[in-house]
A and B are shown apart, each in its own frame.
Chain A
Amino acid sequence: MAVELVFQKRSKLMSAVTDSLIMIRRSTTHIIRNTDQLLGTFFQPIMFLVLFAAVFGGAIGMSLPPGVKYLDYLMAGIIIQTVAFGSTTTAIAICNDLQKGIIDRFRSLPMSNLAVLNGHVISDLFRNGISTVVMLIAGFIIGFRTHGTSFFDWLAIIGIIALFTVAFSWLAAIVGVIAKSVEAVQWLTFIIIFPLTFASSAFVDPVTMPAGLRSFAVNQPITQVIDAVRALILGTPIGNHGWMAVIWSLGILAVAMPTAVWLFARKSQ
């Protein structure tokens, strides 16, 4: 062997950080190279946005306060819905890793257990970021406008969405670790996310829903996140939606992250 090998001395914490960065780079490369999925990242949000705006715009627009276009109302809901469904990719990526030999390789290396999951969750934040930007651009092209949204409001929007994305991806990570196949991941995440996004304020005001469903829709986390972002876009009072959105996301994160890491470490021992 001609090459002299130089090893880095790292503390446990530094290792966790460095290993996570290496794994984030890996997962991000996956996203870029996985062209089929990348196309979905671009076109699915545009399709949803245009279809919902065109199909429901006329009917629902009539029940909105005067001066509010359905497209402007819809934008917050469609972004959060896309991000929530986007978390499925985290679950699929983790499930894929666990089924292949590569996970044994990672486990036999002197690396942090958290890093593999961290890599998928954080790279998914990038991918969802791209989806969100694509949606906003498409929205602007077909007539979406904000109502007095300041620079700081935008920062708040980005912060709320990013925090929610990370929290939901960690929730999806649990599904990815538990599920025995990619198919199982797909239907499991679907039956969790579909009712959560549709029984919310994403597309219509929950006021028109039946009583039982309405009290669920009004109080669940996704509605809080949507209402906070929507208030910032429409320039209406945000009330306590902002805080509730942050508290819900942090709460989900605080439970889901250690659970996912624990399940992951326990798996196949």
Chain B
Amino acid sequence: MPAADIAIKVRGLTKSYGKTEVLTGIDLDVKKGSMLALLGPNGAGKTTTVRILSTLLKFDDGQVTVNGYDVAKDADKVRSVIGLTGQSAAVDELLTGRENLIMMGRLYRLTKESATARAQELLEEFDLVKAAGRPVKTYSGGMRRRLDLAVSLIAAPPIIFLDEPTTGLDPRSRLGMWEIIKKLMRSGTTILLTTQYLEEADQLADQIVVIDGGKVIAKGTAKELKAKVGKDRLELVFGSGKDQKAAVKVLSKDVVETSDKDQSLSLVINDTNKDVRRVLDALADKKVDLQSMAVHKPTLDDVFLSLTGKQKQSDETEESEEA
């Protein structure tokens, strides 16, 4: 890619807190007008990366440029071209939604008229007109996130960082947030999104970079990654150990995992429709009673299992997020 097409460029980025290495050499390229999703579990280094790119955190080694500006040397220039939406809604609780927008607009050095007009536009776009005059502390979680994103957009910066924008939201608010993010992409904004959800990266991003333990372990399009991840799984639960054992016998060659304690088993399926029917028919033939069943899409755990060959160690990684 020619340099002019690159909005964010990271080379050999490292960061440690004392002896704890958080980032051990990250490389990223985000094309202008595209979205890159940084996918990884808690403690992988996603938030640390975003904090460095948005000038909030100093780094040890490497090269980071945002919109052509060196993050280490030109922090103020970087700040004028980025918007940041963090994990905790960074809005003022006692001010109203409109006051928040105008204040942040003024701090981005917009004129009073521009800030006021743009605030109104964003309130309409984010469906916050009715709540615009209420203090933010009365807002719901979804409304806060929307306002938070609106605040990041007040000066229409060409580059936006979205750090886990849907973590903790209910499914409906999450869908609403996705719609807003898609609209933002259509407007030509460059977006770097971090997420723990494969589905979210799949839905939104052009490119996905998977990081774990502070380094990049895979990158590619959603399709390319999914091919590596594996297939859907069908989980069957039985009312008794006898039924479960009978089922294992019936389905023997497809079974990938059994649990005697839960009286359950799981199998890999390729075609949900056809395979589920086949399994149910086979069980009915032998009069095995089924208590419940569920289809599991590949999860982030599966990504890690297939990419690293190990289960993610959630206890350990959560600790390093604290550091």
Determine if B111 and A110 form an interchain contact, defined as CB atoms under 8 angstroms apart: no
Tell me whether A268 is interfacial, beta carbon within 8 Å: yes
Q: B5 at the A/B interface (Cβ < 8 Å)? A: no
Q: Is B225 an interface residue (CB 8 A)?
A: no
Task: Tally the A-B contacts, defined by beta carbons under 8 Å.
Answer: 93
State whether B82 touches A108 (Cβ < 8 A). Answer: yes
Contact with A along B35-64 (1 / 0, CB 8 A): 000000000000000010011111000000
Contact partners of B178 in chain A: CB under 8 A: none
For residue B273, CB closer than 8 A to chain A, the reply is: no
Q: Is the CB of B103 within 8 A of A3?
A: no
Per-position 1/0 for A189-223, Cβ under 8 A of B: 00000000000000000000000000000000000
Q: How far is the CB of A27 from chain B (nearest CB, A)?
A: 10
Q: Are A1 and B108 in contact (CB under 8 A)?
A: no
| Residues of B contacting A110 in the complex (Cβ-Cβ under 8 angstroms) | 76, 79-80, 107-109
B227 proximal to A (CB < 8 A): no
B-side contacts of A19, CB under 8 Å: 107
Please state if A102 and B91 are interface contacts (CB–CB under 8 Å).
yes
Cβ B95 vs Cβ A26 within 8 A: yes
Which of A18, A33, A101 contacts B89 (CB under 8 A)?
Answer: A101
B135 at interface, CB cutoff 8 A? yes
Select B103's contact among A8, A15, A26, A100, beta carbons within 8 Å: A26
In angstroms, how far is the closest chain B Cβ from the Cβ of A154? 34
Binary flags per residue of B103-133, CB closer than 8 Å to A gives 1, else 0:
1101111110110011001000000000000
Instruction: For chain B, give the interface size range.
Output: 35 or more
A29 engages B99 (CB within 8 Å): yes
Knowing A104-B56, A107-B55, A108-B56, say if A3 contacts B84 (CB, 8 Å): no
Given A3-B114, A107-B55; A101-B87 close (CB under 8 Å): yes
Judge whether B56 and A268 touch: CB under 8 Å: yes
- Contact yes or no, A1 B94, CB < 8 A: no
The answer to whether A7 touches B117 (Cβ under 8 A) is no
Cβ of A111 within 8 Å of any chain B Cβ, yes or no, is: yes
Min CB distance B19 to A, Å, is 19
Q: Are B79 and A108 in contact (CB under 8 A)?
A: yes
Query: Within residues 11 to 37 of chain A, which ones have a CB less than 8 A from any CB in chain B?
Result: 15, 18-19, 22, 25-26, 29-30, 33-34
CA distance A27 to B272 in the complex (A): 58
Contact B156 A5 (CB under 8 A): yes
- A192 CB → nearest B CB, Å: 27
B90 interface residue per 8 A CB criterion = yes
Residue of A29, A101, A105, A269 near B104 (CB, 8 A) is: A105
Cβ–Cβ < 8 Å partners of B104 in chain A: 105, 109
A109 and chain B: residue at smallest CB distance: B107
Chain B residues, Cβ within 8 Å of A15? 109
- Does A106 count as interface, using CB distance less than 8 angstroms? yes
Give chain B nearest CB distance to A193 CB in angstroms: 25
- The interface on chain A, measured as residues whose beta carbon lies within 8 A of the other chain's beta carbons, has a size of 33
A33 to chain B, nearest CB (A): 5
Complex CA–CA separation, A180 to B88 (angstroms): 18
B85 nearest in chain A by CB position? A105
A1 touches B121 (CB 8 A): yes
A7 partner residues in chain B, CB cutoff 8 A: 108-111, 114, 155
Q: Is B70 an interface residue (CB 8 A)?
A: no
Give chain B residues whose Cβ lies under 8 Å from the Cβ of A111: 107
How far apart are the CA atoms of A29 and B117 in the complex, in Å? 22
CB of B86 within 8 Å of the partner chain: yes
Q: B55 touching A4 by the CB < 8 A rule?
A: no
Report the nearest A residue to B112, measured CB to CB.
Answer: A8
In the bound complex, how far is the Cα of B113 from the Cα of A18, in angstroms?
Answer: 15
Residue of A5, A8, A10, A22 ringed by the most chain B CB atoms within 10 A:
A5
Neighbouring A residues of B110 by C-beta, 8 Å:
5-8
Contact between chains at A105 and B108 (CB < 8 Å): no
Question: Does chain A have a CB within 8 A of B29?
Answer: no
Residue A141 lies at the interface, judged by CB distance under 8 Å to chain B: no
Q: Which residues of B contact A107 (CB under 8 A)?
A: 55-56
Given contacts A5-B118, A110-B108, A269-B57, contact A102 B90 (CB under 8 A): yes
27 contacts between A and B (CB under 8 A): A3-B117, A3-B121, A4-B114, A7-B108, A7-B110, A8-B110, A15-B109, A22-B107, A26-B103, A29-B94, A29-B95, A33-B94, A101-B86, A101-B91, A102-B90, A102-B92, A104-B86, A105-B86, A105-B151, A106-B107, A108-B54, A108-B55, A108-B84, A110-B107, A111-B107, A268-B56, A269-B57
Closest 9 pairs (CB-CB, A-B) = A101-B90, A101-B88, A105-B90, A110-B79, A110-B80, A108-B84, A6-B114, A3-B117, A111-B107
A-side residues, CB < 8 A to B, are: 1-8, 10, 15, 18-19, 22, 25-26, 29-30, 33-34, 100-111, 268-269
**20 additional contacts, CB 8 Å, given A8-B111, A101-B91?**
A3-B114, A3-B117, A5-B118, A5-B155, A7-B111, A7-B155, A8-B109, A18-B106, A22-B103, A22-B106, A26-B92, A29-B94, A103-B90, A104-B56, A105-B104, A105-B151, A108-B55, A108-B56, A109-B79, A110-B76
